[in-house]
Structure 1
Amino acid sequence: MSPAQHGHGPWNGVRVLDLTGLSGAYGTRVWAALGADVICVEPPGGNPIRTMPPLAPGHAGPEASLWWAYYAASKRSVVLDPTDSEDAASLVKLIGTADVVLDDAMPVAQEAYPWLADMGQGGLGVSGIVERYPHLTWVSITPFGMTGPRRHWRSSNLVAWASCGLASTVGFPHGPPLAPAGEIGVLMHGASLHAVIGSMMSVRARNQAGAAGEPALGQTIDLSLQEVGLWLSPETGVPLYLDDQVPRPRAGNRRPVTSPMGMYPASDGYVAIIAIQPAHWNAVAQWVHELTGNEGILDEIFIDIVVRREALEAVDAWVEELTTRFTKQELFVEGQRRRIPITPVNTVGDLRHDPHLEAVGWWRPEEHPVLGTYTVPGSPFTTDGDWWAWQRAPMLGEHTDGVLAELT
């Protein structure tokens, strides 16, 4: 795989170095899929994502992680050991060829990389790098940012959820806070996606300045996982202050705005229902009445969402009398026919065989010399142009020789 294979994407000609683990992996995947030449600089043992389970059945070693197969798609792999003087020199040269570098090392490391000392930079870290390569955009993704009293605190995806306050809003009213979104690093995905936005804008601004005859300078971009989480979270962000800092209790799998609004049990799983508009509520009430003979639910007083919120437990119980009698697919089909906003809560298995996703061709096959053929998700959006470049994830060090040869 070479940069030429990225030639039809809108970011063809841009080189991005990925020095990160999970906190930058999704963002650099987006860069690569849109045509940039993304090079993962890996230590001799490989990127930590290569060891993340689940592993492909029957496989072991640096190519077995299914996370790596997904996150590293369309990227190149170069193995360099910064503690080796020759590799350190190659890394500095490689950085000089890049337009963007993403780094998730702790601030103390980014401020004084020892491998820069041998290059006459005095171990000045990021400041020395950008001084030497002013065209470069350097993106730092750290737990609490590059400045401030907590800049040296270590973190994780879970710590980031807790520190931004969002974990306090997830869970049931009388239970403990819960980690959002299961085992995946959604907040790290959010940070890396913001890194993509910031670095793409930086490259665009640099190119515009150069075209106008002005200095074509890159940017240093500082992302804090805590601040990104606070930006994303409405419960702990600005609305909290608009509500005069009134604490919001955990709401479980329902939303106490009105009823029905949230997750409701079906005979084989759950469905999500939201009935705020009068027409939606009337349709739900009529369906419950037809099925259970409930006359009270037809009372016009319940058209008011405030009334339904005050009678939330009773209304939820009435709705559950309906939902528990059908499968989630039956509820979906009949609910849609009645123009009620309702949808199944899909499992991974449901999605893999979802007729809509199959019809639009969203899933696509991918070939790998070790893992064989497997199915992966398609693009998050489509365009009239052919923007997306899809290649398999690289094997460890697969492109080291080729990339280093480009530096000579």
Structure 2
Amino acid sequence: MTTRREAPAPAVAAGSGSPADYDRRAASRILADLARPGLSRTATTTGPRPVTVTRTPMRPEPGARLTLSQRLYLEAFMSPCRADQVTTATHRITWTDSDGIPNTGHIREPGLGAIMPVAVRETVLAMWHSLHADGALAARIAALTDHERAVLAATTTDQDPIDIFRVGIEATGRALTQHALLADAGPYRTPAEFARGLRDSGIFAAVATRWYWEQQASTYRRGMIAATFETHSDGTVGYTADTIATLRAMKDATIGDAHTVMRRATTEEGLSVEAAIDRYHDELDLISRQYALLPDGVRPACLAAAPHRLDGEHYSVLPDVVDRFVTLFCATVSGIEIIESEDTAAEFTGAADHLFYVPDMNCKHCVRTIGTVLESMRITVHEIDLISKRVRAEFRSARNRHRAFEALRDSGYNPTLAAPDTAP
């Protein structure tokens, strides 16, 4: 990716859910109205329990700091970020959460350990369960007008309010886990202290404004972070000036690329905006369609970060979710006992089982990417379930499955076979 000057966003045609309904401010206000007086207020911890974790060392390329997958992603999508600006995990871990779903995470030693991704996942699950049990939220969603639904459909990736909030909660957990790769360089020495420190330092808000969503998700899946902390005199932490400049340049490059693709599709190729959106999703799946529709000179932040005045008070979804997440995480982390087990390579041997899991599948974009990777290898896909992170596909042999798993790893995902006690 190279940095390009932004091109003006093209004119769009009217129609329900069409690009004409694209309105970031309106979408943000709709989500704020739905979220208030707060999401997942009834979420509770699952109670004390042991969690068995398998730890696997990350293997950088000879003489290098990054793995092959990390280097390829850096070179293709993180310009002008350099390898020396990236902090990478030292180990990949796998475990099964309290919902019986296999998970994958990354940790760096020395650091806060496997407790971080495990406790984050349990916090995410607790908030998700509360979200789905919230009858008042369901009623507010049911009362949305056709126009409000069209705005969400045109402006957001996940479109459905529950899906949007689910992804936002998981993104909060991603930010906490990913920044834990930097924990050893900061002043916080326990997981709870670290979570509260990031909240009080404004790091969650910094991610929402300075990162772009796909870069956070993709680097998280690869166990890397393009950031460095500095400690302030008041004990909080913040990004270094170098980190801020690099994050801005990467975001500007992505917006510029999206505009370039849209301009080419609607002028040189003569496509409608709707057809162009479909076309560049296929060609450049790491570029969100929302960036292609941004007006010239606009640099977007997370929709949840925008403040709104509701019932005479200022309200923003992001700090509300972060406060609840950090509080619940701190209560959860003390009740988890980590038990480490030996690493095995059994998932790549034996019969060509058709059921497997992709623990770091986070959104509908991930579903699309995983399906595209498998189908490009002429593997028939029967099911990709985002909630259970389960995939059913027709592998021709164990070797064919192994090659498919490697291709998914190169795309930033970490597939694993279902454990016997979690298979349906």
Which band: TM-score by shorter chain? under 0.3
Larger Rg: 1
Normalising by structure 2, we get a TM-score of: 0.27
Normalising by structure 1, we get a TM-score of: 0.27
Higher relative contact order (CA 8 A, sep 6+): 2
In proportion to residue count, which structure has more helix?
Answer: 2
